[in-house]
Chains A and B, each alone.
Chain A
Amino acid sequence: MKRASNLLRPPVKVWQRRGQRGVVSIGALLEAAALLAWWTWVIVGEKHVADAVAARRSVDYASTDAALIANASRCGQARVPQPDTLAQYRASVSIDSLTRGKLEIGNLISLLAGVAIGGERTFEIYTRPFTNSQISAHGAAVVAPRLLGGDTVELSASRLTACVEATRDVPQGSMADYRKSVFSLIEGY
């Protein structure tokens, strides 16, 4: 009797089995999958943002530090301190020398040439171009995960600085050099 009554019961629908172990609805499955995908995308994206931020900072710090060091060291050398936390994004720094502009003192050069002045060691202050440096820092490529498209971003930063000039003068000055040049024109008979 009991068995017969079981047979007579209509088949149980899926939606009617909610709350029972091992059986979920299609909607719940899709929702779970969407959430999992969502979370995966968020976590992967977060990792990518973190990588990009670290790489960006790496090139910014490297270029700024290199520019300051280059400025203070006559642009002859620039060793870039690398922050430990950004070591995986070590930037490579290159320094290019730029020479541009000078005093442009016009007719003064020819005026001074008239008294034999022009070959003294400190005279080049009038003719020497300004030396500046362009510091370029290139970071390692930041590769986006395949989930985010897999693009590669090459980060770089550029800085300019003005080099400290080396002087060719001596502590006692160069007056004797100029005096000799002038006097050479009127010496003796």
Chain B
Amino acid sequence: MPCPSRLLALAHSQHGMLVLTTFQAFLGAVTIALSLFRGGESTLSTHHHTLLAQANHAAALLGQYHARSANAITTNNTICAGLLGPRFSVEADNISMDESAMVACPRNDPYHRKVCARYKANKPRAATKLAWIRSQQTTICRALSQLSAGLDGVMSERAMDLARSSAEVAIEGVTFELENAAQTAAPWGKSSFEQACKLAAEDAQGSNMVGHAFPLLMHLMVPGLPQALVERAPSLFCALKSGSPIRLPEVPSVAQSSREQCRDLEQRTRWAAVPASSDTTAISGSNWRTMADLPEAARPFVECRRIAELPAAAITVEDGGGLSYSRDPDPGFYLLDDDHTSLRCNFDQDSCFDDALVDHSRRFVTSLQLPSLTGGETRAPSVDHWNHADEFRVRVSAARRIDDFTQRVSDAIRTIASFGSAGATDTLRKDRRYTACARWYFADGPTSAFAGVEPARQSFVQGWSHALTSCR
């Protein structure tokens, strides 16, 4: 530390006064530079806050509009599924009425005459209802589906326009950059129609609709048929490939034709083979038949066992080599296999009926000429795990240059601090960009009211929300 007397001496010298004055002037300049720096820094801070706020606002708006869009799409889906249920019911009731009429009208007893008369009285109204619900369901579901297809993109553009206009009012010269998959892809591009059909069928089954469209009539009809048809509605009316063929044993015409087909086939099989009477069957060498002698359609339903494997007590060897099998009420028929082993065979009516049912059910469904439901599909997110997918996120960047005055102040500070050696810099003249991100998601968090809603149903529940989130 310098001695005070030397400082005093320096102050009293002419040279010292000059040094002191210069030093004080330098300190003053530095102080002014510091103030300017702090003012500039404050301006930059405000610039940062303001621009980031605009980016946050734009991201929040986009999140809000996308979440509203998602909730509207789920409501579109719900309304469409809500229309499917009544359609299933009226379709099922009409089919049941027609089936009942097919059974009742050819008969002449009082009960069936009553059923037939009521059918004739109500069928026009039933057909009108069917036409109305078909028309409404098709028209509305198609309109809703079209709305869902374009809604996300439209909402995205509208939100961005709103954010831009708000930003222009707040600060001039803000530019936005947007990374939004909704503008290039279709986040709601997957069909959820299968789920809609299932939900509608479940809902209809638990409702008072099925079999009650015509209360005075339906109790006279084939019991349980409307309910059975609605239960099979997804594959029956929605033509969905469930993996298993449709079987409609509840439909009398289908069951009857299937049964008749199998009875006929069994008869032809028995004629072709050596019949076994319930008492005694004698087979001579020329009577033997093989599987190849049976009708081709019947072969899958013929079940045979070697006679040698049958219980010994059940078989009696007759004079001349004949066999007697007398314990079975349906002794079936005899065949020879490729090894010339004797077989006792039966025609499996149940398997035949089950097989014929598929064919007759398919023909029945075709004969209904149900109008196509295509074009009115409900929608689901295109990607799995949508709550974590980039397709359900948006990134907004807001950019603007620092104002000219602050740039000049900054240049002046640089010049002062560098004793005049540093010139202007472009650092502040570049756009300052601030980014904010938002996502929209189904709010199935542990504390949410929608916790536990399975993913397949999430496109039918209005539980979508949005939030600002960190940018990855």
Contact = CB atoms under 8 A, between A and B. Distances in A.
Contacts of B140: 111-112, 115
Interface stretch (B77-85, B243-251, B272-280, B327-335): B77-85
Contact of A171 (B28, B207, B452): B452
A176 B205 CA distance: 11
Contacts of B225: none
B212 A117 contact: no
Contact of A175 (B61, B125, B129, B199): B199
A92 to B, nearest CB: 17
A179 B465 contact: no
Contact of B462 (A31, A64, A174): A174
Interface stretch (B42-50, B308-316, B356-364): B42-50
Contacts of B24: 35, 38-39
Contacts of B81: 175, 178
B96 interface: no
A28 B21 CA distance: 10
A48 B57 CA distance: 32
Interface in A157-189: 157-165, 167-179, 181-183, 186-189
Interface residues of B, number: 84
Contacts of A115: 83, 136, 140
A162 B55 CA distance: 12
Nearest to B204: A179
Given A101-B158, A162-B63, A167 B90 contact: no
B62 to A, nearest CB: 8
Interface in A19-55: 19, 28, 31, 35, 38-39, 42-43, 45-46, 49-50, 52-53
Contacts of B462: 122, 125, 167-169, 173-174
A49 B40 CA distance: 10
Contacts, number: 213
Interface string A125-143: 1100010100000000000
Given A175-B85, A179-B85, A179-B203, A46 B78 contact: no
Contact of B215 (A49, A114, A188): A188
Interface in A76-123: 100-101, 103, 105, 108, 111-112, 114-115, 117, 122-123
Contact of B71 (A28, A43, A105, A167): A167
A95 B166 CA distance: 17
Contact of A173 (B129, B133, B461): B461
Interface in A43-75: 43, 45-46, 49-50, 52-53, 56-57, 60-61, 63-64, 67-68, 71-72
A35 B25 CA distance: 8
Contacts of B71: 125, 165, 167
A26 B90 CA distance: 112
Nearest to A128: B68
B75 A171 contact: no
A46 B34 contact: yes
B461 A165 contact: no
Contact of B72 (A125, A130, A175): A125
B197 to A, nearest CB: 12
Contact of A162 (B57, B147, B199, B461): B57
B207 A165 contact: no
Contacts of B136: 114-115, 182
Overall SS of chain B's interface: helix
A53 B38 contact: yes
A187 B212 contact: yes
B79 A176 contact: no
A179 B31 CA distance: 77
B211 interface: no
Contacts of B451: 171
Given A53-B42, A165-B64, A179 B213 contact: no
A46 B129 CA distance: 84
A68 B470 CA distance: 13
A39 B45 CA distance: 28
Contacts of B38: 49-50, 53
A31 B42 contact: no
A166 to B, nearest CB: 9
Interface in B62-104: 63-65, 67-68, 71-72, 75, 78-79, 81-83, 85-86, 89-90
Contact of A108 (B50, B143, B465): B143
Contacts of B139: 111
Interface in B416-465: 449-453, 457, 460-465
Contacts of B57: 67, 159-162
B45 A72 contact: no
B45 A60 contact: yes
Max chain B CB contacts within 10 Å: which of A39, A45, A187? Answer: A187
A167 B86 contact: no
17 contacts: A42-B35, A49-B38, A67-B57, A68-B56, A101-B158, A114-B136, A115-B83, A123-B75, A159-B57, A160-B166, A162-B60, A175-B200, A178-B81, A178-B83, A182-B82, A188-B212, A188-B213
Given A57-B42, A167-B463, 4 more contacts: A42-B28, A46-B34, A111-B143, A159-B57
Please provide the 10 A-B residue pairs with the shortest distance between their CB atoms, ordered closest to farther: A178-B82, A169-B462, A162-B64, A162-B60, A60-B49, A53-B42, A179-B82, A160-B57, A179-B85, A42-B31
Interface of A: 18-19, 28, 31, 35, 38-39, 42-43, 45-46, 49-50, 52-53, 56-57, 60-61, 63-64, 67-68, 71-72, 100-101, 103, 105, 108, 111-112, 114-115, 117, 122-123, 125-126, 130, 132, 157-165, 167-179, 181-183, 186-189
Interface of B: 12-14, 17, 21, 24, 28, 31-32, 34-35, 38-39, 41-42, 45-46, 49-50, 52-53, 56-57, 60-61, 63-65, 67-68, 71-72, 75, 78-79, 81-83, 85-86, 89-90, 122, 125, 129, 132-133, 136, 139-140, 143-144, 147, 151, 158, 162, 166, 170, 199-200, 203-204, 207, 209, 212-216, 449-453, 457, 460-468
